[in-house]
Amino acid sequence: MLPGRVAISATIYRFTISLSDVDRGVYEALDLRVAQHPSESKHRMLARVLAYGLCFEEGIELGRGLSTPDDPAIAVKNLRGEMSRWIDVGFPQPDRLHRAMKAVGRVAVYAHKEPTTWLRDLERGKIHDKASLELWSLPSAVIDALERRISRNTTLALTVNDGVLYAEVDGVTSEGSPVRHTLG
């Protein structure tokens, strides 16, 4: 660090989440602390929270963040501590997904912005078992509504029913459907 410079630390958000994923039969009360890296937008940080809820299963944990680029945003580990699912947020490059698919085999990505160009790049890229990738676009309307309502300590109700994601904060509900993409 340069003399006179102060490192900017992560901002910690606490989410008390009531998760009701009717489609998967998952009902949980979650207490989640999320570190927003100084270079991470609030939009992306909220996409990580939504992906965590949509993928919740035993052994799930948030990654160490943007400062550890070789790690996924979210991982699911089995009882032996081995990664059994790799979950990323954003627009990872084909080579990253190739390595993840070879290492883990179960890989999901949640895009938080318009994915057309990224999907085209993935189609052209070399990715192990490309057809098995789970590629999703999160509904921007839900993320945008959350971005306007959250604080550093937020109570959030997430419900998934018939493919629709409902997110409620302070009595205001936003909704949208995550969209699944496939590669050839």
pLDDT tens string 6-33:
557 889 999 999 999 999 999 999 999 9
**pLDDT tens-place string over residues 41-61:** 999 999 999 999 999 999 999
pTM for the model stands at 0.92
Domain ranges of the chain: 11-181
Three-class HEC string of the chain: CCCCCCCCCCEEEEEEEEEEECCCCEEEEEEEEEEECCCCCHHHHHHHHHHHHHCCCCCEEECCCCCCCCCCCEEEECCCCCEEEEEEECCCCHHHHHHHHHHCCCEEEEECCCCHHHHHHHHHCCCCCHHHCEEEECCHHHHHHHHHHCCCEEEEEEEEECCEEEEEECCEEEEECCEEECCC
Q: For residue range 138-171, list pLDDT tens digits in order.
A: 999 999 999 999 999 999 999 999 999 999 999 9
Sheet strands side by side (includes 107-111): 60-62, 74-77, 83-89, 107-111, 134-137, 179-181
CA neighbor of 33 nearest in space, from 123, 152, 133: 152
* CATH placement of domain 11-181: 3.10.640.10
